[in-house]
Amino acid sequence: MSAPHDDAAVLPQPQAAAQPSAITRPNGRQLSIAAVIALAVVLPWITESFVTFQLTQVMIYALAILGLNLLTGFNGQFSLGHSAFYGIGAYTTAILMHSFGVPYFWTLPAAGAVCFVVGFLFGFPALRLQGLYLALATFTLAIAMPQILKFHGLEWLTGGVQGIVVEQPDPPALVPVSADQWLYYFTLLVLLLMFAAAANLIASRTGRAIKAIRYNPVAAAAIGIDTALYRALTFGVSALYTGVAGALGALAAQFVAPDSFTIFLSISLLVGLVIGGVGSIPGCLIGGLFVLFVPNIAESFSRGLAGVIYGVILLLVIFVMPSGAAGFARLAMAQLSRFRRQSRKP
């Protein structure tokens, strides 16, 4: 994290209370980031391999949610089509590995590049659409994707309904970890790089342009921001992030099939986005945790009512944390510092 204040700059609704302390707080923030990373490094050694696998999935979902967040949280465009980008990323990895024998780590940049191009190209026509209309347009993408993958003209490539089996990456010979642990660390590395890149992007001049479009597109255009280009670019970058997540998802599940990438995945990502906090980068991790674990928790209460319980948990979370986990944390921090300041006064 090169820019110490980048997370503070990320806040979508800058809170007056948060700004003055932005110079003193980064140390604490950096410390907590370091602590989370340290915990993440240690976790695979103190949990079962299955939990390691689940945590890998959490990180993959977090990355996909970050992709959506870049688009929705920072640029203000809605998408119900991110399952399609996730699927394209997963299939790019699966096809490259299965049909062309490409090593798994090279498939990630390829998946990202393919998704960037598709996202960018889709972003252009989408420019004419705003808000709910864009959500509908991207919805078609999510609906179409499983059928395109099943299309018999492409079956030689996609494997049709049967899908493609993906080999699990083996750890390098000299590294004494299991395959699950290796994939975990590999995902962790990709996640950290991409989170840092996203934080830097948002803190940059480009990032300010992206956010300006969200706050007020007309004013952004008036000060000389090429809104069309930036919107399409954001769409591309967003697709790239979700596509890389899809590629990692294919490695983790060791299998891709059209039915893995339905509209339900898009909705899960959207839920994760809102739970984690719209416009928050660390919040995406909370979103990932929610997406993976809450359906399991709901199911453990009652099989027949799993959907209802999931809904109730979702409502409760939104009620308690209306601006997501990130907003909740900010609020708590603000309360805490106010309390400290007050208690310091005589």
Partner 1 sequence: MKRLTRRTILAAAPGALALASPLLSAFPARAAKNYGPGVSDTEIKIGNTCFYTGPASSYGTIGKAMAAYYKMVNDQGGVNGRKINFISYDDAYSPPKTVEQTRRLVEQDHILLDAGPLGTPTNSAIWHYMNQNKVPQLFVSTGASKWNDPKGHPWTIGWQPNYHSEGLIYAAYILKENPAAKIGVLYQNDDFGKDYLRGVTDGISGKQAKIVVAASYETTDPTVDSQIVKMKAAGCDAFVNTAIPKFAAQAIRKAVEIEWKPINVLSSIGNSVAGVLKPAGLENAKGLVSDFYLKDPTDPRWKDDAGYKWWIGFMDKYYPEGDKTDGFNVYGPSNAATVVEVLKQCGDDLSRENVMKQAANLHDFTLPMLLPGIKINTSPTDFAPVEQVQMGRFDGQAWQLFGPVLSSAAA
State the Cα torsion 254-258-259-265 to the nearest 10°: 80
CA distance 3 to 135: 33
Measured from the CB of residue 165, what is the shortest distance to partner 1 in angstroms? 6
Q: 257 or 273: whose CB is closer to partner 1?
A: 257
- Rounded CA-CA distance 189/313 in Å is 31
DSSP-assigned states of every residue in 106-155? HHHHHHHHHHHHHHHHHHHHHTT--HHHHHHHHHHHHHHHHHHHH-GGGH
Q: Is residue 76 classed as helix, strand or coil in its secondary structure? A: coil
Q: How far is the CB of 176 from partner 1 (least distance, A)?
A: 20
* Smallest separation (angstroms) from partner 1 to the CB of 97: 14
H-helix or E-strand spanning residue 165:
strand 164-165
The DSSP symbol for 173 reads: T
Phi-psi region of 324 (alpha: psi -120 to 50; beta: other; left: phi over 0): left
Q: Which residues of the shown chain bind partner 1 in the complex (CB under 8 A)?
A: 48-51, 53-54, 57, 147, 150, 152, 160-163, 165, 249, 252-260, 262, 264-265, 292, 295-296, 299, 303-304, 306-307
Q: How far is the CB of 339 from partner 1 (least distance, A)?
A: 42
* Between 58 and 225, CB nearer to partner 1: 58
Q: Which CB atom, from 147 or from 343, has the smaller least distance to partner 1?
A: 147
| Integer Rg of the chain from CA | 20
Q: Which class for 189: exposed (0-12), middle (13-18), buried (19 or more C-beta within 10 A)?
A: exposed
Q: Which is nearer to partner 1, 234 or 260 (CB)?
A: 260
Show the tokens assigned to 288.
């990932």
Strands 255-256 and 164-165: antiparallel
* Closer to partner 1 by Cβ: residue 54 or 200: 54
CB of 264 to partner 1, least distance (A): 7
Q: How far is the CB of 231 from partner 1 (least distance, A)?
A: 31
User: Which CB atom, from 74 or from 261, has the smaller least distance to partner 1?
Assistant: 261
**Lookup: tokens for 124:** 């252009």
Of 69, 55, 86, 131, whose CA–CA distance to 270 is shortest?
Answer: 69
How far apart are the C-alpha atoms of 319 and 167, rounded to whole Å?
43
By beta-carbon proximity to partner 1, the closer residue of 101 and 224 is: 101
CB of 253 to partner 1, least distance (A): 4
Q: Which is nearer to partner 1, 254 or 337 (CB)?
A: 254
Residue 193 Cβ vs partner 1, minimum distance, rounded to whole Å: 23
